Structure 1
Amino acid sequence: MRLDRSVCHWGIWAFAAVMALWPHAASADPITAERITIALSKFEALAEGAVADGAVPGLAIAVVHDDKVVFLKGFGLREAGKPELVDADTVFQIASLSKPVSATVVAALVSGGIVSWDSKIADLDPAFRLADPYPTSELTIRDLFAHRSGLPGTAGDDLENIGYDRATILHRLRFVMPSSSFRAGYSYSNFGLTEGAVAAARPTGKSWEEVADEKLYRPLGMASTSSRYADFLRHADRAALHIKVDGAWAAKIKREPDAQAPAGGVSSTARDLAQWVRLVLGNGVYDGRHLIAADALDQTHVPLMTRGKNPVSGGESFYGLGWNVEFGRHGLSWGHSGAFSTGARTVATFFPKEKLGIVILANAFPSGVPEGLSDSLADLVFDGEVEGDWIKAWDGIYASLFGPAIEAAKAAYAKPPSPTTPARPDSAYAGRYTNDFIGDALVSNAGDGLVLRLGPAGVRSYPLTHFDGDLFLTYPDAEMPDRPAGVSFVIGLDGKASAMTIDFLDDNHLGTLRRVGD
């Protein structure tokens, strides 16, 4: 989730300065095994209650303390309306929790001397371009994992939504104008981080997916973890994605995230992720083996870009390399959340001083259950009691992500003006349109109306409904089927459309396509 895009440049010295000055809010008493046991007995009831109350269909939770997995359990259902239960080995799509996992993979490459965090993308992947030549020449893996390349946050997500593959999306990022100066702004970019990961893997001669297997999943025995969607589908014990339909959770939509696998395409289990937590909290040591050099891993937790304040706790929040770094009421924490609006919610929270790590996986969106439970467990561990209804507070944050935009779109197109200007003949709009970023689009007759086809070979279809004049509506989001978007045409002197603007692809002002041919 993106909170703030203001700017701050940090180094190791700044991190040390913040740590020295920040008042540690946690209890001065040591976090003993006994305290953890007491906290977990209360916490389990909270998790059971969240599922029983219908806050999510299912959950899987892992807690690690002092290099031991002290809690590992599933709750609720893999899919609403079906009897199969979630357990510790149920595979979830973890969405953007993939980012710190992928940062750990790159740390392993850095540890092995294959790349450094400051390796230039121009050296690793010479074909990659940003819009401007100077950032292109200076861009590093560190820049992309810190979201400070200048790429707008949604750059590439739009192309993924209409069916383009990773190579095409990364190539077309060169057409996106920056949202800030290079290294001067934080803008959370799935495909920026993806390029950083893919470039880091290139010297190995292997794909990112192979490198993740080799450097992290296999050494930790994470047998159910993968960066390939096909592997997720092969598991019988897997969690479906759920959204709310008429007030009830429903498994309606699939999410195939291979194009952005390093940023959002990992699937895993609570059991497997507990091993990753052990590695990270162990500073690269796992079962007595030094798998990753501590300095390579430490760099991922240096706060590089400010994100403002945590919207619920008020803690100061920064971004490192694929990690959120936060200074809150329980002191320093590392973590990351993940969300697919198609129905996934995840979170990991690490308290490095206390060697405590929490992973919570849920199969529904919107929901603040993962953060709410994580915050509740932290309260129980540090203070002995829960300070507030954190699930309710986080529910409000996630419910607000799309609600206002949906309502604004509905209001804008609630009813056409009166009198309504009729549409021109379908032949005025039908034809092929193109631009460098979106590629080809085809508007054609379909039954009694028009349909817009986008993506490679027109793989995505969007029926167009006339609204007023040369403006049509479509409903592009399967997870938000009642959210309209405009598709407008500019008519030339010949009475035919010369251009078309697709609102739902225009976040970065690249949604206007010119008509080509007849």
Structure 2
Amino acid sequence: MGRAGNRPAGDTAPIRAFNGCMHPGKCLRPGRGRPLAVSGLAALLLATTALASGAVGPGAASGAAPSPSQPSPPPSLSEPPPSPSEPPPKPPSDQPPPLLTRADVDRAVARLDGVVQDMMKETGVPGVAVGVVHEDRVLYLKGFGRRHVGEPAAVDPGTVFQLASLSKPISSTVVAGAVAGEGTDGADAEGEGTDGAGTEDAGGDGGEAGWDEPVARHLPGFALKDPWVSGHATVTDLMSHRSGLPDHAGDLLEDLGYDQAYILSRLRDEPLAPFRATYAYTNFGFTAGAEAVARAKGVSWQKLSEDTLFRPAGMDSTSTTFADYEKAANRAVAHVPGPDGSWQAKYVRDADAQAPAGGTSSTAEDMMRWLRLQLAGGKLDGRQIIDTESLRHTRLPEIVSQPPTSPAGRTGFYGLGWNVNYDDQGRLRLSHSGAFELGANTNVTMLPGEQLGIVVLTNGKPVGLADAVAEDFFDIARYGKPARDWLPLFAALYAQLDEAGVSPTDYADPPESAKAARPGGAYTGTYDSAYYGRATVTTGPDGLVLELGPEPKRFPLRHYDGDTFSFETTGENAVGPTGVTFTFDQGDTARKLRVEYLDETGLGTFTRR
């Protein structure tokens, strides 16, 4: 994530603008900014660094490195036209010529060991795997550290990591193949009834699997709040985050334990921003688009991924199901830092409900095969696996994700599973990061014109290492040294995101004039929400308990003031203590309860049955 870029110290506008949000200050919302809308990461980096000066690398901060060469002046208008006997001039390339030589890349590769080891020492991140592809050759592939703290097993290139949102460009590769005709039509050969996320499989629905196909045509029950938008929202709209759904819509339902089918069915309750005019990062919007393509092909998302990409590309250790990740003997488990700073394998992150958006697991070895395929226009080892034009379509800008924050800044775009950015000479840069607060951070960055890309996988909560390694690599290739110290910059932004969504109320410190609570019977009972389902308040040994979710999660309530209580949030989107306020009509029992962190879009109120 790009912090302050080349802005003056103390200017936090780039940090406020993180998330790819078009409305700074409004996207880092309770329970929604917390899962880290990492799609905005590269856009912000480019907007806040000096790519305006022409750098191809992602980290060319003004004054921190030599200025790149200026573009050649246009030919003089006085030059005579070629004679009829001369061959016509060649049309210009759609990309400027490469800036980096093999020696430049080799220099950056030679520094990677030290860069990774230094950052691991500084952050304590337990395990890392890194791979680099240049001109269809794997120049670097190595593992560092441990798969599980306290255990001897080391990370190697075959270690399976959870990719988090790095799943998105992989999924868009799958869809690119499916819409071009690759993959499997018809029911699953294995006779599976459901995929890992709980979406039922069926024979193909007779429609086309296309980027511009309405999602509702293939995904039964899919609807958004506006009926017209419901009928017109396409796979492209959902996978480029321009449907109008709010930032991270549906993620809190996942935290409560709801499955994919339920979450997608409730997107209709979310308020909508202007259709195709507003960017807001939505895991379950993206998931709906991808699942619609799988449904059109008549298979589960996992089978579509296997048949279209994983098996043809030889990505034998890659899967979209949590069960496959868990049964991998050589896997890196998730870690978070404890109160004393030591890293702990404390949480398990099952992302099956949003499998296309965040549920893929893979190895550095497999990711090198995917990166080679990407840089070669869909080819791998002489075989055309994904149609070139369909793959190119994923790289087109579909929506502005990050407007420039200064006259010298650059606009960031989102394509189909990619952050899409250009330097001032039109050189394309594609990237995506992945982040699980419960213990994973990943990054892929590639420069197609340079035929160069890097993948960084880690098994630790986001502290900036994955992103900083990638930035350092491109800086060293371009300038011979990092343009700035990226790690503390990323660490500061991730730390700020940790604070996003935290309640302004300190529930651990009730006011001196706090009113007493009513008798417990005034609050106990069952309450309903069309969006969040049932909420039950019961009395436990230590007081009131709030139950939420399909297999209800129990949250002990702590009294704060009058009819307001609090509980400690849990899960990927945890924001610390949040409030629960009961409201009464004329009677002695509460009529409604409102859960503070569930109410960001006005859906957090439950009414007594």
Do they fold alike, i.e. is TM over 0.5? yes
Q: Deviations over 1:205-239 (max 9, x none)?
A: 11111111111111111111100000000112111
Question: What residue number does 1:509 align with?
Answer: 602
Paired residues of 1:60 and 1:270 also in contact (CA < 8 A): yes
Q: CA deviation at 1:103?
A: 0.4
Question: What residue number does 2:35 align with?
Answer: none
| From 25, 31, 40, the counterpart of 2:55 | 25
Paired residues of 1:301 and 1:323 also in contact (CA < 8 A): yes
Paired residues of 1:243 and 1:342 also in contact (CA < 8 A): yes
| From 15, 21, 38, the counterpart of 1:4 | 21
Instruction: Return the alpha-carbon distance in structure 2 between the equivalents of residues 315 and 227 of structure 1.
Output: 34
Instruction: Return the alpha-carbon distance in structure 2 between the equivalents of residues 415 and 116 of structure 1.
Output: 55
Instruction: Return the alpha-carbon distance in structure 2 between the equivalents of residues 371 and 193 of structure 1.
Output: 23
Aligned residue type for 2:594: T
Corresponding residue SS for 1:49: helix
Instruction: Return the alpha-carbon distance in structure 1 between the equivalents of residues 422 and 543 of structure 2.
Output: 56
Aligned residue type for 1:321: L
Paired residues of 1:63 and 1:356 also in contact (CA < 8 A): yes
Question: What residue number does 2:285 align with?
Answer: 192
Q: CA deviation at 1:325?
A: 0.7
| From 421, 438, 460, the counterpart of 1:364 | 460
TM-score normalised by length of structure 1:
0.92
Question: What residue number does 2:309 align with?
Answer: 216
Question: What residue number does 1:72 align with?
Answer: 141
Q: Give structure 1 regions of 4+ aligned residues with deviation exceeding 6 angstroms.
A: 479-482
Query: Kindly tell me: are residues 240 and 45 of structure 1, through their superposed partners in 2, closer, same or farther at Cα, counting changes over 3 Å?
Result: same
Paired residues of 2:134 and 2:452 also in contact (CA < 8 A): yes
| From 131, 140, 152, the counterpart of 1:62 | 131
Q: Does 1:151 align with 2:245?
A: yes
| From 483, 491, 499, the counterpart of 1:387 | 483
Q: Deviations over 1:94-124 (max 9, x none)?
A: 1000011100000001111852210111222
Query: Kindly tell me: are residues 402 and 224 of structure 1, through their superposed partners in 2, closer, same or farther at Cα, counting changes over 3 Å?
Result: same
Q: Deviations over 1:135-176 (max 9, x none)?
A: 001110000011000111121101100000000110111111
Q: CA deviation at 1:183?
A: 0.8
Question: What residue number does 1:476 align with?
Answer: 569
Aligned residue type for 1:275: R
Q: Deviations over 1:259-287 (max 9, x none)?
A: 00000000011110111111111111111
Q: Deviations over 1:379-413 (max 9, x none)?
A: 1112222211111211111111022544x54x532
Q: CA deviation at 1:309?
A: 6.1
RMSD between aligned residues: 2.3
| From 447, 467, 472, the counterpart of 1:351 | 447
**Range moving further from structure 2, 447-456 or 344-353:** 447-456
Question: What residue number does 2:191 align with?
Answer: none
Q: CA deviation at 1:314?
A: 5.8
Instruction: Return the alpha-carbon distance in structure 2 between the equivalents of residues 206 and 226 of structure 1.
Output: 15
Of Structure 1 and Structure 2, the greater helix share is in 1
Corresponding residue SS for 1:276: helix
Query: Kindly tell me: are residues 309 and 57 of structure 1, through their superposed partners in 2, closer, same or farther at Cα, counting changes over 3 Å?
Result: farther
Q: Does 1:495 align with 2:588?
A: yes
Q: CA deviation at 1:25?
A: 2.3
Q: CA deviation at 1:481?
A: 7.6
| From 105, 116, 119, the counterpart of 2:210 | 116
Aligned residue type for 1:413: Y
Aligned residue type for 1:352: P
**Range moving further from structure 2, 121-130 or 247-256:** 121-130
Q: Does 1:86 align with 2:155?
A: yes
Corresponding residue SS for 1:116: coil
Q: Does 1:324 align with 2:419?
A: yes
Paired residues of 1:4 and 1:306 also in contact (CA < 8 A): no
Paired residues of 2:132 and 2:138 also in contact (CA < 8 A): yes
Paired residues of 1:6 and 1:308 also in contact (CA < 8 A): no
Query: Kindly tell me: are residues 481 and 103 of structure 1, through their superposed partners in 2, closer, same or farther at Cα, counting changes over 3 Å?
Result: closer
Q: Does 1:419 align with 2:516?
A: no
Query: Kindly tell me: are residues 328 and 393 of structure 1, through their superposed partners in 2, closer, same or farther at Cα, counting changes over 3 Å?
Result: farther
| From 527, 530, 536, the counterpart of 1:442 | 536
Instruction: Return the alpha-carbon distance in structure 1 between the equivalents of residues 371 and 600 of structure 2.
Output: 36
Q: CA deviation at 1:491?
A: 1.6
Larger RCO (alpha carbons 8 Å, 6+ apart):
2
Corresponding residue SS for 1:188: coil
Instruction: Return the alpha-carbon distance in structure 2 between the equivalents of residues 196 and 128 of structure 1.
Output: 10
Instruction: Return the alpha-carbon distance in structure 2 between the equivalents of residues 41 and 314 of structure 1.
Output: 32
Greater gyration radius? 2
Instruction: Return the alpha-carbon distance in structure 2 between the equivalents of residues 52 and 269 of structure 1.
Output: 23
Aligned residue runs from structure 1 range 241-320, under 5 A: 241-246=334-339, 247-308=341-402, 315-320=410-415
Instruction: Return the alpha-carbon distance in structure 2 between the equivalents of residues 69 and 428 of structure 1.
Output: 66
Query: Kindly tell me: are residues 78 and 315 of structure 1, through their superposed partners in 2, closer, same or farther at Cα, counting changes over 3 Å?
Result: farther
Aligned residue type for 1:358: I
Query: Kindly tell me: are residues 310 and 343 of structure 1, through their superposed partners in 2, closer, same or farther at Cα, counting changes over 3 Å?
Result: farther
Aligned residue type for 2:328: H
Instruction: Return the alpha-carbon distance in structure 2 between the equivalents of residues 339 and 430 of structure 1.
Output: 38
Q: CA deviation at 1:476?
A: 1.2
Question: What residue number does 2:430 align with?
Answer: 334
Corresponding residue SS for 2:394: helix
TM-score normalised by length of structure 2:
0.78
Aligned residue type for 1:44: D
Aligned residue type for 1:323: W
Question: What residue number does 1:453 align with?
Answer: 547
Instruction: Return the alpha-carbon distance in structure 2 between the equivalents of residues 2 and 22 of structure 1.
Output: 21
Corresponding residue SS for 1:78: coil
Q: Does 1:138 align with 2:232?
A: yes
**Range moving further from structure 2, 369-378 or 106-115:** 106-115
Paired residues of 2:246 and 2:280 also in contact (CA < 8 A): yes
Corresponding residue SS for 2:457: strand
Q: Does 1:166 align with 2:256?
A: no
Aligned residue type for 1:345: N
Question: What residue number does 2:172 align with?
Answer: 103
Question: What residue number does 1:50 align with?
Answer: 119
Q: CA deviation at 1:328?
A: 4.8
Corresponding residue SS for 2:277: coil
Paired residues of 1:6 and 1:306 also in contact (CA < 8 A): no
Q: CA deviation at 1:50?
A: 1.4
Query: Kindly tell me: are residues 317 and 38 of structure 1, through their superposed partners in 2, closer, same or farther at Cα, counting changes over 3 Å?
Result: same
Size of the alignment, in residue pairs? 499
Question: What residue number does 1:16 align with?
Answer: none
Paired residues of 2:313 and 2:385 also in contact (CA < 8 A): no
Instruction: Return the alpha-carbon distance in structure 2 between the equivalents of residues 328 and 292 of structure 1.
Output: 27
Q: CA deviation at 1:89?
A: 0.8
Q: CA deviation at 1:308?
A: 1.9
Instruction: Return the alpha-carbon distance in structure 2 between the equivalents of residues 219 and 482 of structure 1.
Output: 42
Of Structure 1 and Structure 2, the greater strand share is in 1
**Range moving further from structure 2, 245-254 or 158-167:** 245-254
Query: Kindly tell me: are residues 165 and 126 of structure 1, through their superposed partners in 2, closer, same or farther at Cα, counting changes over 3 Å?
Result: closer
Q: Deviations over 1:282-332 (max 9, x none)?
A: 111111111111111111111121222699x96532100111012358942
Q: CA deviation at 1:480?
A: 8.6
Question: What residue number does 1:432 align with?
Answer: 526
